[in-house]
Structure 1
Amino acid sequence: MNKKTVLKKTILAVSIAMLTACGGSGNNSDIAPVASTSTIEGVITGFGSIYVNGVEYETDNASIEIDGNPSIETSLGIGDVVVLQGSINADGLTGVANRVSSVDELEGYVLDLSNLNVGVGSINVMGQVVNITIDTVFDSNTLNSIDELSINDIVEISGFSDGNGNILATRVETQQSADNVELKGVISNLDIDALVFTIGTLTIDFSSAFEVPAILNNGLLVEVKTQTVLTGSLIDGFVLIASQVEIEDDGGFEFDEGVEIERQGLVSDVTDTTFLFNGELIQIASLKVDDDFASLENGMLITAEGFIDANGVFIIEKIENIELSDFEFEGLVTAKTETEVTVTNNGVEITFIVNNSTRLMDEQDEGVTPIRFFSLADVALGEYLTLKYFVDINGKNIATELEREDNPTLLIASRGL
């Protein structure tokens, strides 16, 4: 059986058998359980072993890789985007991982912070617009909030890129050195004579790179690395002197025909017949009359489910919208069940549904050691929580993030974002 590389960085022909952009719980367990071997790309939301796309995967015998190098599970963090190879059980909620690979979307210098407003907005990293939302996770060991960043800080960004210089950040952490400054994106304005191209607003000079693909084209998705500081300015533009230019391969996973694929990603450049999914052009080869293709919008985060056909093409069978947070609430726990928690603040009481897609983080640090394998079962009455959430079509408060914190002296009331 022929091996096929998933999602070649060329135009993908896609047959969509079902297209929905539904609200609801945001729990990807609504997607039908995948039989046998499958490949999942998504955001880590919890540990014990590892939660990705609403499924808890055992990782006892799994190989772990970070940026292509062997690693261990404890080096992964909430908000990291991973590609996971394994299987999902019949319940659709549990599975077994054979391999987990994490590759950051961008690592480099912060160039501009002027578009932030109360911790959300966008920052310029290496000429790329990195969108910071209420759902962006910050590595508490290096960064508590985006407001702590300074110009020329080196950051590592996990998330999803539209390929045109815009990234939705799911996790941000700072780095001490610039040994691995890198970015991914779609080539534009290629000048073979001058040996330059652009990704977003950043000019890439590859004249001295020791590794360059034999053929470069506009529209090709690549990863660029450098070991030198950027030159230029915000007004005149920045230039990166590339040491390596590689065709982006999403971690190098290869799969047999028929392997089931489930990917989270960012939608952009929507037209009547095509859209970009994580910067890759998707052409609609066939579409059921009743399908609501018009519901796709630029900037939407979706889960796409399908399989690899005999030609190595990703055939998408279902698309589902991923709900993002709209609100944040902090307070004391006054009631709890196996799937719900009630939090009270200054007389306001809200009950939240917690599911496998809820990001779970223990950030207590006053006299206690935070629990890595943290779950709702670890939460006790009287403890202090911060929850991010949205309200579904049934009026239920669905927690997208639950964070246990030290109890502050001043409680902060609910605020809509």
Structure 2
Amino acid sequence: MMPRLPRSAVHKAAIPLFMTLLAIFLAACVPQEDTTIAGNQQNDGGISGTGYSSGPVDGFGSIYVNGIRYATGDATLYIDGAKSNRDEREALGVGMVVTVTGNRDAQGDSGTAETVRYRPLLRGPVADISLDVDGLGSLTVLGRTVIIDRGTVFADRTGKGLIGPEAITTEQAVEVSGYPEGNDFRATRLAVLNDDGAIAVSGSVETATADTVTLQSETEVRYGTGTDLTDLPAAPEDWSGRVVHIRGNHSNGGLQADAITGLTGLGLELPADEDGEVEATGRVTSNWDESTASFGFNGARVTLTDRTEFEDSRKPADLKTSERIELEAEYRDGTLTAEEIEFLEEPTETAFEGALEAVGSVDPNGRVTHLTLFGVEMAVTPRTRLDLDDEGGALTAGDCVEVLLRPASNQPDGEGALALQLEREDDEGCEAEIEGTVTVVQNGGDTVVIAGVTVDLSGTGTSASVGDRLEVEGSWEGNTFQASEVEREDEEDDD
């Protein structure tokens, strides 16, 4: 059975009619606040002025990275190191880890991009698949283990359509974006490709000779006089420990490099000759070392000082391999010095419960392929775990269901969501509930968006911020979820 949404310790507030009318009057007289669209965490000011932002693409219009909207009308886009004339909507997708260079406004919640750079962590054929019924687990690509979790976005060959993990097969060419985790990669995005024989692999150099590079994952790549070497020392023996990105192809049973490029870190592409402020999300790749006052972050070395601030009373000793963090740092003379560090929670799923509004087409096996709940259309794949009572027959509009879903889209509005688990409930007394993370805030927190559903909190006396996880009960009014009871997840944990 799928875990049900908690219903305890909810916050209720009735607003007198006079206050409601007053609020409506004031709302009509005062312009609404600008909509804020979230990335990994709510922005609390962060860096401003010229700088760099590195993290997964959260949405478009122009482009959202780490919760910051960057206008990209005049930006130069680089894909795998090469200048691209494609529009960012065509070239990029949600979950791709990019580095944005640009200016931030004084409030730090928007900016103008000068450049946007993207390089995949990995590109090549799938050699092994180990995924559970929910599509979680790992793949092996070019000898590297790729971890698939709730936050991984799956994309089709167009890069825009979303697929389920069942579309991944052995020998299928894929492109992986994400972060290093030890010698493995944790995918934020995985896209299937037409196999043209091209490969790409990133990592730290273990050893290098005049014709071979071996990464710490024991991936060995040959290179020669025709290989383009960029931002690397002249002597191969000095490459050890450097983070590199390798492009090439399969040749004579091995991997042959066309280009090897030195990087600041994985998913962190900073020019050696331009200083600035950096905001980035990623993984700790080596533990805090007290003797050097530094730790590894996405393969780059980051130094701490007595001015480095930690959120939530954390400390340097908590910087351990695989921890997910958001880093604000000063970048000077090729060195990163941490100014502020925040530890981030792992991606969590969203749950809906309510009456289905629509059921889509049925595949040749008699299985429904799409359904709509609270205005959000979600895909149902062979990997979706179904718990349907035998007497109820096939799913139909009006059925009461509880769905565990993964919001995943090229737009920050919940389109393209994937149903992970679905359980049919008793239709009698079907309740409408939503559990998930707030990604958009309007009207001073009275209206929020969770997984593409607009939720009106004004009748509960509760407001919310981007990044809050809420459990909401109420009713679906056709285009808005009217909340009657609200609980914050952290408040439940404190009980």
TM-score normalized with structure 2 length: 0.59
Superposed CA deviations along residues 111-165 of structure 1, whole A, max 9, x for unmatched, are 1113555301111111111111110011154661222111111111111124x53
Distance 1:107 1:359 in 2: 33
Distance 2:115 2:271 in 1: 10
2:145 alignment partner, one of 104, 129, 132: 129
Aligned runs of 1:65-144 on 2, under 5 Å? Answer: 65-67=78-80, 68-70=82-84, 71-75=86-90, 76-114=92-130, 116=132, 118-140=134-156, 141=158, 144=163
Aligned runs of 1:284-323 on 2, under 5 Å? Answer: 284=304, 286=306, 292-309=315-332, 311-323=333-345
1:187 alignment partner, one of 201, 205, 210: 205
Shift of 1:50: 1.5
Superposed CA deviations along residues 82-132 of structure 1, whole A, max 9, x for unmatched, are 111222223332222222222211111111113555301111111111111
Superposition RMSD in Å = 3.8
Shift of 1:394: 3.2
Q: What amino acid does structure 1 have at the position aligned with 2:185?
A: I
Shift of 1:196: 4.9
- Report what 2:297 is aligned to: 277
Larger radius of gyration: 2
Shift of 1:326: 3.1
Between 1 and 2, higher relative CO (CA 8 Å, sep ≥ 6) is seen in 1
Secondary structure at 1:34 match in 2: coil
Residues 152, 381 of structure 1: alpha-carbon distance in 2 compared, 3 angstrom cutoff? farther
1:243 alignment partner, one of 246, 258, 276: 258
2:165 alignment partner, one of 123, 143, 146: 146
Shift of 1:395: 4.2
- Report what 1:355 is aligned to: 439
- Report what 1:158 is aligned to: 177
- Report what 2:235 is aligned to: 215
CA contact (8 A) 1:34 1:87 kept: no
1:36 alignment partner, one of 36, 49, 55: 49
Aligned residues: 335
Calculate percent identity across the aligned residue pairs.
Answer: 25
CA contact (8 A) 1:43 1:81 kept: yes
- Report what 2:370 is aligned to: none
CA contact (8 A) 1:27 1:355 kept: no
- Report what 1:62 is aligned to: 75
- Report what 2:185 is aligned to: 167
Question: Structure 2 regions of 5+ residues with no counterpart?
Answer: 1-37, 354-372, 377-411, 415-422, 442-448, 454-475, 482-486
Distance 1:353 1:196 in 2: 43
Q: What amino acid does structure 1 have at the position aligned with 2:88?
A: E
Distance 1:192 1:254 in 2: 24
- Report what 1:177 is aligned to: 195
- Report what 1:204 is aligned to: 221
Shift of 1:191: 5.9
Shift of 1:383: 7.3
* Range with bigger deviation, 274-283 or 261-270: 274-283
Secondary structure at 2:490 match in 1: coil
Secondary structure at 1:228 match in 2: strand
Superposed CA deviations along residues 288-326 of structure 1, whole A, max 9, x for unmatched, are 7976112223212211102123x4422110111222223
CA contact (8 A) 1:85 1:97 kept: yes
Question: Structure 1 regions of 5+ residues with no counterpart?
Answer: 1-24, 232-238, 363-379, 397-417
Superposed CA deviations along residues 196-230 of structure 1, whole A, max 9, x for unmatched, are 52441422233676345532232121222222258
- Report what 1:393 is aligned to: 490
- Report what 2:484 is aligned to: none
Superposed CA deviations along residues 15-46 of structure 1, whole A, max 9, x for unmatched, are xxxxxxxxxx9853444342221210111111
